[in-house]
Amino acid sequence: MTTTNIRPSKFLAQDNVYLPHIAVIERIIEETPGIRTLHFNFKDGKLKKEFSFESGQFGEYSIFGIGEAPFCISSSPTRRHHLEFTAQRVGRVTNALHRLGVGAEIGFRGPYGNSFPLDFLKDKNLVFVGGGIGLAPLRSLIWNVIDNRDKYKNIALVYGARSPADLCFKYDLDAWGKDKTIKFVTTVDRGDASWTGRVGVVPKILEEVAPSAKNAVAIVCGPPIMIRFTFPVLEKLGFTPEQMLTTLEKRMKCGIGKCGRCNIGNIYVCRDGPVFSYEQIKSFVSSEY
């Protein structure tokens, strides 16, 4: 695959790459008890109009006084009414994010990183494999693809979570479930009384669904353990490492390849990623991802 070129963000505040733009939370959707999606828009009218990004890119979000954390932009660039990101409550910044209300101001720097290679995906069959909150970056691409449906061939989506209550973006799942042009499967590790879908971990269900590798690209995102078990399944189904894409998650601070911590070999996940093919990942100097 060819990743999109690395190029710096065009949207710098006061020519200082570390300064965030002020953005306002417009809506909050509680996805699960620990995960919420925040809709936001820039305060500055000009930026609001001009801002652009691509699916797979991320931003550094500031909760002033608490800190900054990176999250991918989980909305699609084809739907620019507002921007969205989704955060799980796991640490200092995300705890603070979960205390925010509508109207609160946050900071945003970005967009950073590379993006899903749309040219490479064009005219291909796309297999999306997501787990839990890992659907967030995929979702940006999925809506992007749906909004340009004629550019792509068949679309399959396998999405799973631990339990029905842990499924994110239920409103999207409903919409995709109704879309006749998408082969759509949801699964949970453990069902409950009302659950009528599949039960089983994502890699297992993927194996059962068995999408064809012919002219296909699989885009995988989820918890590391899911990703680790999904690649072998895809290989078994005939996908080559070039045909598998994922986005990596690392601890980040600067988001622009300077502070050092997301370094693996000679790449920096924030600058050279976060989207990589399995082929690229296998060529990394270390397995520390």
Partner 1 sequence: MTSKKVTKRDVIKLLNQWRQEFAVFVPSIESGVATMARWEGKDTSFLDWYRNTVIPPKANFLPPMEEMFRFRKDREGYNIELPPDGEKQLIFGIRPCDARALAIIDANFRDLYQDPYYLSRRNSAVLVGLGCTNPHDSCFCTSLGVSPGESADVDLMLTDIGDEFLLEPISAAGKELIARSRGLKEVTKDDETRAKEIKETSYNKVTRKINAEGIGAKLLAGFDDQDYWEKVAAKCISCGICTLLCPTCYCFDINDELTKQQGTRFRSWDSCAFPIYTKMPMENPRQEKWRRVRQKVCHKFGFYPTNFNVIACTGCGRCIRLCPVNWDITQVLESVPLIETKRGKASNTL
Partner 2 sequence: MEQRLRSKTRALLEQGKVDWIIGFEPGSLKFTTTPLITKDKNDTDRLVINPFIVNNLANFLTQVKGRVGIVVKGCDSRSVVSLIQDNKVAREDLVILGIPCTGVIDLSKIEKLVGKDRDELNDIAREGDKVIIRVNGKKKEFPTTQTLFDNCLACELPTPQEYDILLGEPSSPIANPAAQEGIKKLKQMTPEQRWIFWEGELSRCIRCYACRNVCPACFCQRCFVEETEPQWVFPAPRWQDNLIFQITRNIHVAGRCTDCGECERACPVNIPLRSLTREMYDIVGELFQFKAGMDKDAPPLMTHYEEKEAEDFFR
Note the residues at the interface with partner 2 (CB under 8 A).
91-92, 95
Q: Contact between 33 and partner 1 (CB under 8 A)?
A: no
276 binds partner 1 (CB under 8 A): no
- Does position 14 bind partner 1 by CB under 8 A? yes
Nearest-approach distance from CB 14 to partner 1, in angstroms: 7
Q: Kindly state whether residue 68 participates in binding partner 1, applying the rule CB under 8 A.
A: yes
Binding part of the chain for partner 1, among 129-137, 147-155, 204-212, 256-264 by CB under 8 A, reads 256-264
Number of shown-chain residues binding partner 1 (CB under 8 A): 46
Which of 56, 70, 257, 273 lies at the binding interface for partner 1 (CB under 8 A)? 257
Residue type, 89: R
Q: Buried b / exposed e across 131-156, counting CB within 10 Å, b at 16+? A: bbbbbbbbbbbbbbbbeeeeebeebb
Q: Which stretch binds partner 1 (CB under 8 A): 15-23, 29-37, 46-54, 76-84?
A: 15-23
Quick one: what does residue 95 bind among partner 2, partner 1, none, with the CB cut-off 5 to 8 Å set by partner type? partner 2
Q: Binds 259, which of partner 1, partner 2, none (CB < 5 to 8 A, cut-off by type)? A: partner 1
Binds partner 1 by CB under 8 A, chosen from 161, 256, 275, 281: 256
Residue type present at position 237: L
Q: Does 289 bind partner 1 (CB under 8 A)?
A: yes
**Nearer residue to partner 2 within complex by CB, 45 or 65:** 65
Q: What are phi and psi of 32, to 5 degrees?
A: -145, 175
Residues at the site binding partner 1, with contacts judged by CB under 8 A? 6, 8, 13-20, 22, 24, 43, 62-68, 90-91, 105, 107, 223-224, 249-251, 253-254, 256-261, 263-266, 271, 285-286, 288-289
